[in-house]
Structures are given as C-alpha cells and as structure tokens.
Amino acid sequence: MRAPALALVALSLAVVIGAVMTIGGPEQARAERRDAQRMSDLNALGRHLTCLLDRGLALDDTSDACTPPPPLTDPKTGAPYQVTRTAPDIVRACAEFERPARSDALAYRADFDRDAGCLILRRSPTAPAPRD
C-alpha cells in the first residue's frame, strides 16, 4: 500500500514540475507583464513622436497639439528607451525586451521590428512638409 502512494506522489510532483517548465512560473509572468508595459510605452511614445514629426518639430520639443510623452524609461532597469532619428522623416523608438522570442504576441503593429525591439515611425504622408 505504501509503494503505490509514493508512486502517486512522485507522479504528481513530476506533473507539477513539468507544468511549471512548460508554461513558466511567476518570474516569466512578471517578465511578460514588463514586456507588455514596454510595448505600451513604445506605442504611446510612437504617437508622441509621430505628432512631432508631422509638425516638423525636433524630437525633444513639446507641442500643445501632441500628447505628452509617456515614461521614457524601462520599467525594470530604469534605462531610457532609445530614440534615434535615422532619416529626416523616420525615427526608431527601441526597448530591450526580456522575452524577444515571445514578442510576436506584442508585435501587432506592422512597423515593429521584433528582432531589434523597435518601432519604426514615419511622418504621416498627409502631413505638411517640415519647416526648415
């Protein structure tokens, strides 16, 4: 009677360990939440930067017509998100994702470079030409 009970306990333990290894534990859930926050921050930052681009303003300018910039730092490390102008009408806003392989679920935007963790932002085609 003792051997079957011990086998059942061992089997139950193996199932629990297998489930945690398959779906992840609490740290994976926290990493996924932080990645979702990073993507949300990049989306808000993207709206802000696109508004500035459309008005021909510098990336560090402010405008009453544009929403205020979101938090510009990583929720875990406090490191700033990287914003780089790659052309007069193109800006990259990047974050360091903890689970890049899982960022497919986050990358619903066509202008998201999953491998680099960057949104590629362009001046709207209907925006007036930037001021010199």
Average pLDDT in the chain: 81
**41, 117 contact by CB (below 8 A):** no
pLDDT, residue 105, reads 54
AA letter at 67? T
Cβ atoms of 25 and 57 closer than 8 Å = no
Kindly report, residue by residue over 55-78, the tens digit of the pLDDT. Answer: 988 888 888 889 888 878 998 899
Give pLDDT < 50 ranges for the chain: 132
Token pair of 62, please?
Answer: 């402010």
Residue 132's pLDDT is what? 47
CA-CA distance, 19 to 21, in Å (whole number)? 5
Q: Which residues contact 41 (CB under 8 A, 6 or more apart)?
A: 70, 71, 72, 75, 81, 95
The tokens for 129 are 């030409």
